């Protein structure tokens, strides 16, 4: 590529230099070749290598009917188990029995928005200590 012109004697001409009107495509070709090589290498990895025909078996679905304990705490800190008022020692005994089951029940906790966090945290600690580890918080849908 020429950036300037030489006259017939080999010295630089006294004419001003003209701008180059060619586009240098070499860097673009280099990038395209690199991309081509990358696609050639990665294309076989996209297709699954093993084609398996898996066996078919008829099995009964595992029983997913897990018991659910509904615990509610009102604004005064009174605890309700399945919509019945319950004292902490009785609740602790029921949770202990529930935690010893082969499949412990789920616990759905509903708490009034003005309930102290300390009360909720103590109840959650007691529930987890008794072996009931699946705790869900029930909320109301905003309108």
Query: Domain containing 124 — which CATH number?
Result: 3.30.420.270
What is the arithmetic mean of pLDDT over 82-89? 88
* Cα-based angle 6, 8, 14 (whole degrees, multiple of 5): 45
For residue 33, tell me if it sits in a domain: no
Q: How far apart are CA 67 and CA 99, in angstroms?
A: 11
For residue 42, tell me if it sits in a domain: no
For residue 101, tell me if it sits in a domain: yes
- What does the pLDDT read at residue 34? 95
Beta partners for residue 70, in sequence order: 108
Of the ranges 4-8, 15-19, 80-84, which one carries the lowest mean pLDDT score? 4-8
For residue 29, tell me if it sits in a domain: no
Place 83 in a pLDDT band, splitting at 50, 70 and 90: confident
Q: How many domains does the chain have?
A: 1
For residue 112, tell me if it sits in a domain: yes
Reply yes or no on whether the pLDDT at 132 is more than 80.
yes
Reply yes or no on whether the pLDDT at 105 is more than 90.
no
For residue 99, tell me if it sits in a domain: yes
For residue 24, tell me if it sits in a domain: no
- What does the pLDDT read at residue 31? 94
Reply yes or no on whether the pLDDT at 84 is more than 70.
yes
Task: Find the domain containing 90 and state its range.
Answer: 68-137
Higher-pLDDT residue of 140 and 120 is 120
Phi, psi of 110 (to 5 degrees): -115, 125
Quick: pLDDT tens for 16-40: 667 777 888 899 999 999 999 998 9
For residue 40, tell me if it sits in a domain: no
Three-state DSSP state, 119: helix
Instruction: Tell me the whole-structure pTM to 2 decimals.
Output: 0.52
């Amino acid at each position: 590529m020429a950036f300037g012109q030489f006259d017939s004697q080999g010295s630089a001409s006294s004419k001003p230099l003209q701008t180059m009107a060619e586009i240098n495509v070499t860097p673009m070709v280099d990038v395209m070749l690199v991309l081509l090589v990358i696609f050639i290498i990665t294309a076989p990895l996209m297709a699954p290598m093993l084609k398996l025909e898996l066996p078919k078996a008829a099995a009964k679905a595992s029983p997913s009917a897990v018991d659910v304990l509904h615990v509610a705490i009102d604004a005064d800190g009174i605890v309700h188990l399945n919509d019945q008022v319950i004292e902490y020692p009785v609740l602790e005994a029921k949770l202990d029995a529930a935690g010893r089951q082969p499949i412990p029940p789920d616990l759905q906790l509903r708490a009034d928005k003005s309930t102290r966090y300390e009360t909720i945290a103590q109840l959650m600690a007691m529930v987890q200590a008794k072996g009931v580890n699946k705790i869900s918080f029930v909320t109301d849908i905003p309108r």
